[in-house]
Amino acid sequence: MTAPPVRPITLAEIRDAARRIAPTIQRTPLVKLQLGPGFPDIRLKLENLQPINAYKLRGAANAVAMLSDAERAKGVWTISAGNAGQGVAYAARQAGVPCTVVVIGSAPEAKKARMKALGATLLEAPYDRAWKALEERAYPGAEGTFVHPFDDHDFIAGHGSIGLEILEDEPDTRGVICGIGGGGLLVGVASAIKALAPQVKMYGVEPETAAPAALSKKMGSPQPFKDWQPSFVDGAGGQSMFPRMWERLKPVVDDYFVVTLDETRAAMRVLAEKARVVAEGAGALSVAAAMKGLAGDGPVVAVVSGGNIDLKKFCELVS
């Protein structure tokens, strides 16, 4: 399956997507993280409060809505470690469309269970095989219309709605940080922010165990990350930077941060203690970077991208 050419996501497309998905998604709050003196002014964009507890619903709802009747009639399928699969399954169920998810075998059981509960048929694949399928846009046994979980124009436009809401709620925002896996969240938010307020800095953040974006920035071209290791941060980081996503990211992202797993765990604990927020590892990356002061004194918005984590695992990580 051939991917369409990469082109910028326009503000008009993001605004159209925001209107289109409004009946399906939650407009999430922007709340101040009360850390006391000596810390930056951090605002939390709580995407963990979406109906699927993750931002991916925005992109999925827009992508499924934009499919033709003929495409929808075939059913839809995607590839996911959990959150994109839930988003596409939720949007497909609302549209009365069958959904299949090629799920990465290491995905948490809680995410697999939620995809099944949303009516998705699951096909399990090892991480390497699933990553290859993302490039090939094909997988044995997966039939219907493929919805790419990050390299999809309509998916990214849906995520851009987060950027619109951030600037409406905090016009004085000076920086925005998003965790990065495939890059769809970061491209979407950055496309909206840079169109409306080009002076606002846009940052991506990855875990130390999976940081191809930071390496690509350093080298000036899309890179594989040879020291990749699986971790509890299952929704961010990757084995390589997709060249197509690098094309999308370059014009709208100012820099990339890398945080340690210990810093991510500490951010998860702070979110639970100070804001009563349950964030998965990927959702806490942005907060870890903001707390280190990497994005300056603020106001800096940390996008808490999701909260889909087994509670037992969460308790182990933060205790």
**What phi, psi does 113 have (nearest 5°)?**
-65, -40
What is the reported pLDDT for 145? 92
Which of the two residues, 97 and 197, has the higher pLDDT score? 197
Render pLDDT for 138-175 as a digit per residue (tens, 0 to 9). Answer: 999 898 999 998 899 999 999 999 999 999 999 999 99
Say if residue 264's pLDDT is above 90: yes
pLDDT of residue 64: 92
Rounded average pLDDT over 247-253: 97
Domains of the chain: 11-54+155-318 (3.40.50.1100), 57-146 (3.40.50.1100)
Buried-state track 89-109, b at ≥16 Cβ within 10 A, e below 16: bbbbbeeebbbbbbbbeebbe
What angle (nearest 5°) sits at the alpha carbon of residue 319, between those of residues 211 and 297?
55
Tell me, what's the pLDDT at 4? 85
Spatial distance between the Cα atoms of 258 and 209, rounded to a whole number of angstroms: 9
pLDDT at 104: 86
Whether residue 210 contacts residue 239, with contact meaning beta carbons closer than 8 Å, is answered with yes
Q: Taken in order 10, 11, 12, 17, is the CA torsion positive or negative?
A: positive
Note the pLDDT tens digit of each residue in 24-80. Answer: 999 999 999 999 889 999 999 999 999 999 999 999 999 999 999 999 889 999 998
> Which residue in this structure is represented by tokens 């496309």?
191
Q: Cβ distance 95 to 68 under 8 Å?
A: no
pLDDT tens column, 92-119: 998 899 999 999 887 878 888 889 999 9
Indicate yes or no: pTM above 0.85.
yes
